[in-house]
């Protein structure tokens, strides 16, 4: 199995991305601007940001006013798997939320997932479930939820730093999360290749009733043609999440495509930094946990309706999230904002008049629509791998984008 190399979106040029693809790697994106600061007890080259005390209420909390959900839903009785770089359970706002998990990072010697050498997973988990503490304006959107940490990578802002994960490890993490009772899977990373093991693990997860939420990626405009298809976000019945800033506009790096189902705050997001501070993070990675937290709120509020009893429940939760989204400056659904901007309060308290079409792709039909991409994967080729010329790579990208859009929107030959 080829390694999963984590490419930081702001430290990696489009040339480097193409070189990685030609080298037949499977890049995964962890979108966080992490300053240099050695992490004690972690391998040389891994980095932690220097945490600070932030007393102001972060802009996403001002936008969402989560206090309106007090007494309605807080995520209680719902376990959210954070499949990421681990979650540091020492953080005072996470101590009561983090369960013992798993470590599938090659060379780590195993563990319970509660170690984080790059702060990415800890930040993501805190957006979901950080509890309020005196002197801090920051808290998670679903503070009653429990976090199941599963470590699959530790590569942060420097491509060569830390131990890289594998697609097989990601697939194992997805399968294990469902087995351990996670009802929401937060995947703030991207594989730019359709991997058969990951695809099957995602299929099994959603059929078991687990809501899978994944990043749309941060590679917009970095290569000719359409943005590369991100996985797992590109798979059927996965909620693909793009990012907006405080002004409500899509982040320049946030990818554009039919795999974007919803957008959420992803710029200057306040989140936890090990061992006890707070920091500011940017990228689609940090938009994902707002959506995961909302899924947990829905399941907490409607335990019978949103019980993990199969694919229909996943689609019910997805329809609530997409069908109650706030309007965005794009068509509905559009390739930039999906169905709009996440509104957790409306998702929990309102019932959409009609189910959002993006929540209704049958797995079988969508898989057939992706046959060309899957066949390329079975031959060991990367999604955008020609090794010959940039023009050919652009043609493959265009074909993959068209196939993906057709599959997700039930397009058939001869239809507009």
> Which residues are marked as active site?
84, 120, 285
348 φ/ψ angles, rounded to the nearest 5 degrees = -85, -35
Q: What is the DSSP string of 377-416?
A: HHTT--TT--SS-HHHHHHHHHHHHHHHHHHHTT--TT--
In 130-247, alpha helices (H): 167-179, 196-207
Whole-number Å distance between alpha carbons of 381 and 196: 12
- Classify residue 347 by its DSSP letter: H
Other residues' Cβ atoms within 10 Å of the Cβ of residue 246? 13
Q: At CA 301, angle to CA 299 and CA 307, rounded to 5?
A: 35
Contact assessment for residue 156 and residue 168, using Cβ atoms and an 8 Å cutoff: no
CB-CB neighbours of 375 under 10 Å: 11
Cα 369 to Cα 33: distance, rounded to the nearest angstrom: 36
Sheet holding 239-244, edge to edge: 102-103, 146-151, 79-84, 184-187, 211-215, 239-244, 262-265
Angle at 287 between CA 317 and CA 42, to 5 degrees: 120
């Amino acid at each position: 199995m080829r390694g999963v190399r984590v490419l930081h979106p702001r430290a990696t040029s489009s040339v480097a991305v193409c070189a990685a693809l030609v080298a037949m790697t499977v890049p995964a994106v962890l979108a966080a601007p992490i300053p240099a600061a050695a992490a004690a007890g972690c391998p040389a080259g891994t980095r932690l940001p220097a945490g600070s005390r932030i007393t102001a209420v972060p802009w996403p909390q001002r936008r969402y006013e989560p206090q309106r959900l007090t007494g309605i839903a807080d995520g209680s009785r719902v376990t959210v798997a954070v499949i990421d770089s681990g979650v540091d359970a020492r953080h005072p706002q996470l101590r009561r939320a983090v369960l013992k998990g798993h470590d599938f990072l090659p060379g780590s010697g195993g563990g319970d997932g509660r170690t984080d050498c790059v702060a990415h997973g800890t930040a993501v988990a805190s957006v979901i479930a950080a509890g309020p503490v005196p002197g801090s304006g920051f808290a998670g959107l679903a503070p009653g939820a429990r976090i199941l940490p599963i470590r699959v990578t530790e590569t942060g802002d420097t491509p060569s730093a830390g131990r890289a994960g594998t697609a097989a490890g990601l697939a194992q993490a997805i399968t294990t999360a469902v087995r351990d009772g996670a009802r929401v899977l937060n995947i703030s990373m991207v594989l730019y290749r359709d991997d058969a093991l990951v695809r099957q693990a995602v299929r099994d997860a959603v059929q078991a009733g687990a809501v899978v939420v994944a990043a749309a990626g941060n590679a917009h405009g970095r290569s000719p043609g359409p943005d590369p298809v991100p996985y797992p976000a590109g798979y059927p019945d996965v909620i693909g999440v793009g990012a907006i800033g405080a002004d409500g506009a899509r982040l320049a790096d946030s990818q554009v495509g039919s795999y974007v189902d919803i957008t959420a705050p992803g710029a200057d997001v306040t989140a936890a930094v090990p061992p006890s501070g707070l920091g500011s993070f940017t990228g689609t990675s940090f938009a994902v946990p707002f959506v995961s937290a909302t899924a947990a709120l829905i399941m907490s509020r409607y335990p019978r309706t949103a019980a993990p009893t199969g694919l229909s429940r996943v689609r019910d939760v997805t329809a609530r999230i997409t069908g109650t989204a706030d309007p965005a400056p794009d068509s509905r659904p559009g390739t930039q904002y999906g169905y709009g901007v996440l509104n957790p309060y409306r998702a929990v308290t309102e019932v959409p008049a009609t189910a959002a079409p993006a929540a209704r792709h049958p797995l079988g039909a969508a898989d057939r629509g992706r046959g060309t991409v899957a066949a390329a994967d079975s031959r060991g080729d990367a999604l955008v791998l020609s090794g010959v010329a940039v023009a050919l790579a652009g043609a493959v990208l265009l074909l993959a984008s068209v196939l993906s859009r057709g599959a997700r929107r039930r397009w058939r030959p001869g239809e507009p």
